[in-house]
């Protein structure tokens, strides 16, 4: 996972530790514990948060996106689309 806890999402969900069960919700954005902007989060399963790539519309774990090094946020498009 590329984010640090706690994770604060704009849908009022806060994660101080990994969820114990898979969870899915409507796409939302937020910030992690390093004040890194996180985008397009849709859930959590198999030990990682899930994001939707706005280019190919696939739902993938955050590791498939990486971080932007020029600004404090994650990549919107997945590695395959980039």
Contact indicator for 1, 37 with CB cutoff of 8 Å:
no
Confidence (pLDDT) at 12: 95
Percentage of the chain modeled with pLDDT above 70: 100
pLDDT tens across 39-71, in order? Answer: 999 999 999 999 999 999 999 999 999 887 778
The overall average pLDDT reported for the chain is 93
CA–CA gap between residue 56 and residue 69 (Å, rounded) = 22
pTM of the model: 0.88
DSSP SS3 for 44: strand
Query: CA nearest 3: which of 27, 24, 33?
Result: 33
Contact indicator for 38, 30 with CB cutoff of 8 Å:
yes
Confidence (pLDDT) at 70: 76
Q: Reply yes or no on whether the pLDDT at 80 is more than 80.
A: yes
Contact indicator for 7, 25 with CB cutoff of 8 Å:
no
């Amino acid at each position: 996972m590329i984010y640090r806890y706690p994770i604060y999402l704009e849908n009022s969900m806060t994660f101080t530790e990994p969820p114990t069960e898979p969870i899915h919700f409507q796409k939302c954005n937020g910030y992690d514990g390093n004040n890194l902007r996180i985008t397009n989060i849709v859930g959590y399963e198999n030990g990682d948060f899930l994001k939707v790539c706005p280019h190919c519309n696939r739902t993938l774990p955050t590791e498939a996106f990486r971080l932007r090094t020029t600004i404090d946020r994650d990549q919107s498009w997945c590695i395959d689309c980039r």
